[in-house]
Amino acid sequence: MREIVFDTETTGIFPGDGHRIVEIGAIEMIDRVVTGRTFHSYVDPCRPMPKDAQAVHGLSTAFLTGQPVFEMIIDEFLAFIGEDPLVAHNAVFDMEFLNWELKRCGKPVIPHSRAIDTLEIARRKHPGGKNTLDGLCSRYDIDLSARTKHGALLDAELLARVYVELTGGRQIGFDLATEPAVTVAPVEQTVFVSRAHEASPAELERHAALLATLKDPVWLH
Protein backbone atom coordinates (compact mmCIF):
# COMPACT_ATOMS: atom_id res chain seq x y z
CA MET A 1 0.00 0.00 0.00
CA ARG A 2 1.30 3.45 -0.96
CA GLU A 3 1.09 6.27 1.59
CA ILE A 4 2.48 9.79 1.61
CA VAL A 5 3.90 11.25 4.83
CA PHE A 6 3.94 15.04 4.63
CA ASP A 7 4.49 18.19 6.65
CA THR A 8 4.14 21.92 6.12
CA GLU A 9 5.69 25.03 7.62
CA THR A 10 3.64 28.22 7.68
CA THR A 11 3.67 31.90 8.61
CA GLY A 12 1.21 31.31 11.45
CA ILE A 13 -1.52 29.16 12.93
CA PHE A 14 -4.74 30.05 11.09
CA PRO A 15 -5.01 30.37 7.30
CA GLY A 16 -8.14 32.48 7.76
CA ASP A 17 -5.93 35.17 9.33
CA GLY A 18 -3.97 35.49 6.10
CA HIS A 19 -1.24 33.01 6.97
CA ARG A 20 0.34 30.94 4.22
CA ILE A 21 2.37 27.80 3.60
CA VAL A 22 6.11 28.53 3.26
CA GLU A 23 7.50 24.99 2.97
CA ILE A 24 6.09 21.59 2.11
CA GLY A 25 7.81 18.22 2.23
CA ALA A 26 6.51 14.75 1.48
CA ILE A 27 7.88 11.21 1.51
CA GLU A 28 6.61 8.11 -0.26
CA MET A 29 6.12 4.91 1.72
CA ILE A 30 5.04 1.56 0.34
CA ASP A 31 3.95 -1.07 2.84
CA ARG A 32 5.38 1.12 5.64
CA VAL A 33 8.81 1.25 4.00
CA VAL A 34 10.34 4.54 2.78
CA THR A 35 11.12 4.24 -0.93
CA GLY A 36 13.45 7.23 -1.24
CA ARG A 37 11.04 9.25 -3.42
CA THR A 38 10.37 12.68 -1.97
CA PHE A 39 8.84 16.04 -2.78
CA HIS A 40 10.14 19.26 -1.27
CA SER A 41 9.74 22.95 -1.98
CA TYR A 42 9.99 26.28 -0.23
CA VAL A 43 7.16 28.66 -1.06
CA ASP A 44 7.10 32.44 -1.27
CA PRO A 45 4.08 33.45 0.86
CA CYS A 46 4.05 36.94 -0.66
CA ARG A 47 3.80 38.43 2.83
CA PRO A 48 6.20 39.18 5.70
CA MET A 49 7.28 36.42 8.05
CA PRO A 50 6.27 37.00 11.69
CA LYS A 51 9.15 36.76 14.14
CA ASP A 52 7.50 34.06 16.27
CA ALA A 53 6.99 31.83 13.22
CA GLN A 54 10.55 32.42 12.01
CA ALA A 55 11.80 31.36 15.45
CA VAL A 56 10.14 27.96 14.90
CA HIS A 57 11.39 27.10 11.41
CA GLY A 58 14.11 29.66 10.72
CA LEU A 59 12.67 30.78 7.37
CA SER A 60 12.96 34.53 6.91
CA THR A 61 11.19 36.91 4.56
CA ALA A 62 14.48 37.53 2.77
CA PHE A 63 15.07 33.81 2.21
CA LEU A 64 11.54 33.10 0.96
CA THR A 65 11.29 36.10 -1.36
CA GLY A 66 11.86 34.82 -4.88
CA GLN A 67 11.03 31.19 -4.05
CA PRO A 68 8.24 29.65 -6.18
CA VAL A 69 4.73 30.79 -5.25
CA PHE A 70 2.26 28.07 -4.33
CA GLU A 71 0.60 28.12 -7.76
CA MET A 72 3.94 27.13 -9.30
CA ILE A 73 4.47 24.00 -7.20
CA ILE A 74 0.97 22.66 -6.59
CA ASP A 75 0.61 20.58 -9.76
CA GLU A 76 3.88 18.75 -9.07
CA PHE A 77 2.83 18.14 -5.47
CA LEU A 78 -0.58 16.80 -6.48
CA ALA A 79 1.03 14.50 -9.03
CA PHE A 80 3.38 13.20 -6.34
CA ILE A 81 0.68 12.42 -3.77
CA GLY A 82 -1.74 10.95 -6.32
CA GLU A 83 -4.88 9.54 -4.69
CA ASP A 84 -3.08 7.86 -1.82
CA PRO A 85 -3.58 8.36 1.94
CA LEU A 86 -1.79 11.34 3.50
CA VAL A 87 -0.05 10.86 6.85
CA ALA A 88 0.57 13.94 8.99
CA HIS A 89 1.08 14.81 12.65
CA ASN A 90 -1.86 16.94 13.77
CA ALA A 91 -3.28 16.42 10.29
CA VAL A 92 -6.10 18.93 10.81
CA PHE A 93 -3.56 21.76 10.81
CA ASP A 94 -1.74 20.69 7.65
CA MET A 95 -4.91 19.75 5.76
CA GLU A 96 -6.56 23.10 6.55
CA PHE A 97 -3.58 25.02 5.21
CA LEU A 98 -3.25 22.77 2.18
CA ASN A 99 -6.94 23.07 1.29
CA TRP A 100 -6.88 26.83 1.87
CA GLU A 101 -4.07 27.13 -0.66
CA LEU A 102 -5.86 24.79 -3.07
CA LYS A 103 -8.99 26.97 -2.92
CA ARG A 104 -6.89 30.04 -3.67
CA CYS A 105 -5.58 28.28 -6.80
CA GLY A 106 -9.04 27.18 -7.90
CA LYS A 107 -8.16 23.53 -7.29
CA PRO A 108 -10.46 20.91 -5.71
CA VAL A 109 -9.83 20.43 -2.00
CA ILE A 110 -8.58 17.13 -0.59
CA PRO A 111 -11.12 15.30 1.61
CA HIS A 112 -10.06 15.04 5.25
CA SER A 113 -10.99 11.36 5.04
CA ARG A 114 -7.73 10.80 3.13
CA ALA A 115 -5.69 11.99 6.10
CA ILE A 116 -4.15 9.68 8.72
CA ASP A 117 -3.40 11.65 11.87
CA THR A 118 -0.43 10.24 13.80
CA LEU A 119 -1.26 12.55 16.71
CA GLU A 120 -4.62 10.81 17.13
CA ILE A 121 -2.96 7.40 16.85
CA ALA A 122 -0.36 8.38 19.47
CA ARG A 123 -3.01 9.69 21.88
CA ARG A 124 -4.86 6.38 21.68
CA LYS A 125 -1.71 4.32 22.05
CA HIS A 126 -0.02 6.48 24.71
CA PRO A 127 -2.78 8.29 26.63
CA GLY A 128 -1.32 10.99 28.81
CA GLY A 129 2.08 10.69 27.15
CA LYS A 130 4.14 13.39 25.45
CA ASN A 131 2.83 12.95 21.93
CA THR A 132 4.59 15.78 20.13
CA LEU A 133 6.85 14.69 17.27
CA ASP A 134 9.88 15.32 19.49
CA GLY A 135 8.30 13.36 22.32
CA LEU A 136 7.49 10.38 20.11
CA CYS A 137 10.98 10.37 18.60
CA SER A 138 12.42 10.23 22.12
CA ARG A 139 10.01 7.44 23.08
CA TYR A 140 11.07 5.34 20.09
CA ASP A 141 14.80 6.21 20.23
CA ILE A 142 14.73 8.04 16.91
CA ASP A 143 17.73 10.35 16.44
CA LEU A 144 16.76 14.03 16.68
CA SER A 145 20.24 15.51 16.44
CA ALA A 146 19.61 17.02 12.99
CA ARG A 147 16.44 18.79 14.12
CA THR A 148 17.64 22.12 15.45
CA LYS A 149 14.52 23.79 14.00
CA HIS A 150 11.35 22.58 12.33
CA GLY A 151 11.70 21.72 8.65
CA ALA A 152 9.02 20.18 6.44
CA LEU A 153 11.07 17.46 4.77
CA LEU A 154 13.10 16.55 7.86
CA ASP A 155 9.94 16.41 9.97
CA ALA A 156 8.27 14.20 7.35
CA GLU A 157 11.27 11.85 7.48
CA LEU A 158 11.09 11.67 11.28
CA LEU A 159 7.33 11.20 11.16
CA ALA A 160 7.66 8.32 8.73
CA ARG A 161 9.79 6.50 11.30
CA VAL A 162 7.38 7.36 14.10
CA TYR A 163 4.45 6.17 11.98
CA VAL A 164 6.09 2.78 11.50
CA GLU A 165 6.53 2.43 15.26
CA LEU A 166 2.98 3.57 16.00
CA THR A 167 1.53 1.05 13.57
CA GLY A 168 3.44 -2.00 14.70
CA GLY A 169 7.07 -1.64 13.67
CA ARG A 170 8.86 -2.95 10.60
CA GLN A 171 6.83 -6.15 10.41
CA ILE A 172 3.55 -4.31 9.87
CA GLY A 173 1.41 -6.19 7.36
CA PHE A 174 3.38 -9.43 7.74
CA ASP A 175 0.65 -11.99 8.26
CA LEU A 176 1.91 -15.50 8.87
CA ALA A 177 -1.57 -16.88 8.33
CA THR A 178 -1.59 -15.68 4.73
CA GLU A 179 1.92 -16.77 3.85
CA PRO A 180 2.14 -19.85 1.62
CA ALA A 181 3.03 -23.02 3.47
CA VAL A 182 6.65 -24.07 3.08
CA THR A 183 7.60 -27.74 3.35
CA VAL A 184 11.00 -28.24 4.94
CA ALA A 185 12.69 -31.50 4.11
CA PRO A 186 14.29 -33.45 6.96
CA VAL A 187 17.95 -32.60 7.49
CA GLU A 188 19.09 -36.09 6.56
CA GLN A 189 17.42 -35.73 3.18
CA THR A 190 18.90 -32.35 2.36
CA VAL A 191 22.39 -32.73 3.85
CA PHE A 192 23.29 -36.42 3.84
CA VAL A 193 23.01 -38.61 0.76
CA SER A 194 22.94 -42.37 1.30
CA ARG A 195 24.99 -44.52 -1.06
CA ALA A 196 23.03 -46.99 -3.12
CA HIS A 197 25.73 -49.70 -2.60
CA GLU A 198 28.82 -50.54 -0.55
CA ALA A 199 32.35 -49.67 -1.67
CA SER A 200 33.76 -52.12 -4.21
CA PRO A 201 36.99 -54.08 -3.53
CA ALA A 202 38.80 -51.85 -6.04
CA GLU A 203 37.64 -48.69 -4.22
CA LEU A 204 38.75 -50.13 -0.87
CA GLU A 205 42.15 -50.97 -2.31
CA ARG A 206 42.62 -47.43 -3.66
CA HIS A 207 41.54 -45.99 -0.31
CA ALA A 208 44.07 -48.13 1.58
CA ALA A 209 46.80 -47.07 -0.82
CA LEU A 210 45.98 -43.40 -0.23
CA LEU A 211 46.12 -43.84 3.55
CA ALA A 212 49.51 -45.50 3.28
CA THR A 213 50.94 -42.34 1.71
CA LEU A 214 49.94 -40.15 4.67
CA LYS A 215 52.67 -39.36 7.20
CA ASP A 216 51.82 -39.23 10.88
CA PRO A 217 47.99 -39.07 10.50
CA VAL A 218 46.20 -37.34 13.40
CA TRP A 219 43.88 -40.27 14.11
CA LEU A 220 46.87 -42.38 15.30
CA HIS A 221 47.61 -39.98 18.21
Query: What share of the chain has pLDDT > 70, as a percent?
Result: 76
Cβ pair 89, 131 in contact under 8 A: no
Residues contacting residue 33 through CB under 8 Å, at least 6 positions apart? 170
CA dihedral (75, 35, 126, 143) positive or negative: negative
Q: What is the DSSP letter of 173?
A: T
With left for phi above 0 and alpha for psi between -120 and 50, is residue 118 left, alpha or beta?
alpha
pLDDT at 215 over 80: no
Are 28 and 4 spatial neighbours (Cβ–Cβ below 8 Å)? Answer: yes
Per-residue pLDDT at 146: 79
* Top-ranked range on mean pLDDT: pick from 12-16, 165-169, 200-204: 12-16
Average pLDDT over residues 111-136: 96
47 SS3 class: coil
pTM: 0.74
Is the CA virtual torsion 79, 80, 85, 87 positive or negative? negative
Nearest to 31, CA basis, from 177, 167, 179, 173: 173
What's the CATH class of domain 2-176? alpha beta
d(CA 73, CA 109): 16
Residue 190's pLDDT band, with cuts at 50, 70 and 90, is very low
Catalytic residues: 150
pLDDT tens per residue across span 19-30: 999 999 999 999
What is the overall mean pLDDT for the chain? 84
Residue type (1 letter), 156:
A
